[in-house]
Structure 1
Amino acid sequence: MVTRRRLLLLLFILLAVVLSAALARWRMHAWDRPQVVALYPISADGLPATEAYLQRLDGAAFDALQDFFAAEAARHGLALAQPFRFELGRRMVKQPPAPPSQAGPLAAISWSLRMRWWAWRETPATSPVPDVRLYLMFHAPSRETQRLPHSVGLQKGRLGLAHLFASPAQQGSNQVVIAHELLHTFGASDKYDGASLQPRPPEGYAEPERFPPLPQLKAELMAGRIPLSETESRIPAGLGETLVGERSAREIGWRR
């Protein structure tokens, strides 16, 4: 009798968790109001050049993000005129936990839990509570930082870690990285090959119906690169060279 009660209790808890996750996902994709995205700048390297850049950083550096998503949402037929509202949060001092150096589900789950715990402690809920928290890790450009660490966006916990260059010249490419990781938090998947980093056709092409298909003129945001040939691609200079593809729009609830 006791065992049966425990089993029923566990089933009830499991059902509650499943229903809660389904409700959260439905609310996430309802798009009945703008989603508030808080951006928290962090100096990733502690260098004077990065500090000088962050002292001059203001909300205007992210205005293009709001305009880009408004235009893309309208192109996909979303009734909501402004899907996102970006707010520049306070400067962060403490570094977030570093992502795992080795691939594997256990390492990824462990880091995800530690990252969510860190975010809860370091950026407690304010009023209004942001829907998404993105932590912007800025690095001073140099020969050693031509390639930044991998950025991450988590749907569970609604947070992301974006590695960016602390340079006005890189503002456009920084915005592409932020936009990419933001859509991960809403369920959009990567659309590039993990080994070659080449966009995967057709969902990784901005214009999959284009003939001939290559070269493409823009990048699908979740593919991250503009495919020029079957083996070559380039990083877009800014959001003006990207768009949200149909499959990505379906994944985040902009299309049914």
Structure 2
Amino acid sequence: MTESAGNDDVARRTARKRRFFAIRVSVLLFILFVVALYAVRDLRSRRARNDWERTVDVAVVLVHVGGSERVEADAIADLNERVSALEERLRAEAERHRPGIPKPFRIRILGPVDVAVQPPTPTGDGPVDLAKQAVDLERWLRDVDPRAGVEPDHWDTRIYVSARRPATTAKSVVEGQSQQHGRIGFVDVELDTSMVDLALFVVAHELMHTLGATDKYDANGRTRAPEGLAEPDRMPLFPQRFAEVMGRNRPVSEGTEVVPESLEELAVGTMTAKEIGWLR
């Protein structure tokens, strides 16, 4: 091979590498553009919920985790029946803070769906832990949603309720966690007919988190005053008549709180109303 032919071959290989590099960069930039476009669209859509120009659609998806006792049919029936009471209570609170506001929430119960495991939670606070949890959660949702009849784009917020029969008659458990300003929340509850209203109270709590509301209780679970009080100007201050949705409990005296017994005790305080856009 002559030196000229060798130089031409090198030049062709170099040109091919450059074209391949340019194509690869173009593809990556296109993917990045699509991801950024979706992120902007999703962010705008989530923020639009707080404009309250339309009703926010909420799916409450019941799941039964394998190995736990199934919830009795009566409890699920009561849960479906009491959803309208939660909608009405939240409507009344929205109207109190912002007269003339459209109906704030349309809530539907879906499921129950059988799942093998609880929704995944991060094992740590590091970026790798959070990334793994995001991947595991996406896989979990892809399994649950189709079987529950959930089309994610149809719902502004989805709350997944892991429900099981109470282990004892003495005390039942209900807990939750949600994406702040996100679209997804989780509730874990030992559910029977006596726990239906409290379960829906916690659903409302997690729903408010997805709309930007912050907790109004301290590290010990005690209601913070005044922001966690439904009626901070009440005289005398105690007993409070309502439980602020982000404070969770109803203070009845200095240092004493009780768990709300019905949805009629649910209230949305001034700070929470500001955080979710009911007050400007």
TM-score, normalised to structure 1's length? 0.81
Please state how far the C-alpha of 1:38 moved relative to its aligned partner.
1.0
Native 8 Å contact 1:191 1:203 kept in 2? yes
Match of 1:241? 265
- RMSD in angstroms over aligned alpha carbons? 3.3
Match of 1:118? 140
Show CA shifts across 1:20-67 (max 9, x none): 565234312111111111111122464555254566466323111111
Please state how far the C-alpha of 1:74 moved relative to its aligned partner.
0.5
Show CA shifts across 1:69-103 (max 9, x none): 11111111153331111112232112443434x66
Native 8 Å contact 2:65 2:118 kept in 1? no
Match of 1:138? 163
Gapped runs of 5+ residues in structure 1?
Answer: none
d(CA) in 1 for partners of 2:79, 2:197: 15
Please state how far the C-alpha of 1:122 moved relative to its aligned partner.
2.5
Q: Which shows bigger deviation, 171-180 or 12-21?
A: 12-21
Matches within 5 A, 1:169-188: 169-188=194-213
The total of aligned residue pairs comes to 248
Matches within 5 A, 1:64-213: 64-94=85-115, 95-100=117-122, 104=125, 106=127, 107=129, 110-112=132-134, 114-124=136-146, 126=151, 129-143=154-168, 146=171, 148=173, 150-155=175-180, 157-194=182-219, 196-213=220-237
Match of 1:221? 245
Please state how far the C-alpha of 1:141 moved relative to its aligned partner.
1.8
Report SS of the residue matched to 2:111.
Answer: coil
Gapped runs of 5+ residues in structure 2?
Answer: 1-20
d(CA) in 2 for partners of 1:157, 1:166: 26
Native 8 Å contact 1:141 1:165 kept in 2? yes
The structure where helix makes up a greater share of residues is: 2
Q: Which shows bigger deviation, 145-154 or 176-185?
A: 145-154
Native 8 Å contact 2:64 2:70 kept in 1? no
Show CA shifts across 1:149-200 (max 9, x none): 6311224541111122321111121121111111111111100002x21111
Report SS of the residue matched to 1:255.
Answer: coil
d(CA) in 1 for partners of 2:132, 2:174: 19
Relative to structure 1, the CA distance from residue 18 to residue 37 in structure 2 (aligned partners, 3 Å threshold; closer, same or farther) is closer
Match of 2:45? 24
d(CA) in 1 for partners of 2:130, 2:253: 33
Matching residue's letter, 2:269: G
Matching residue's letter, 2:136: R
Please state how far the C-alpha of 1:211 moved relative to its aligned partner.
3.1
d(CA) in 1 for partners of 2:137, 2:67: 21
d(CA) in 2 for partners of 1:55, 1:228: 31
Relative to structure 1, the CA distance from residue 123 to residue 255 in structure 2 (aligned partners, 3 Å threshold; closer, same or farther) is same
Matching residue's letter, 2:112: R
Relative to structure 1, the CA distance from residue 53 to residue 110 in structure 2 (aligned partners, 3 Å threshold; closer, same or farther) is farther
TM-score, normalised to structure 2's length? 0.74
Relative to structure 1, the CA distance from residue 55 to residue 176 in structure 2 (aligned partners, 3 Å threshold; closer, same or farther) is closer
Structure 1 vs Structure 2: percent identity of aligned residues? 29
Report SS of the residue matched to 2:113.
Answer: coil
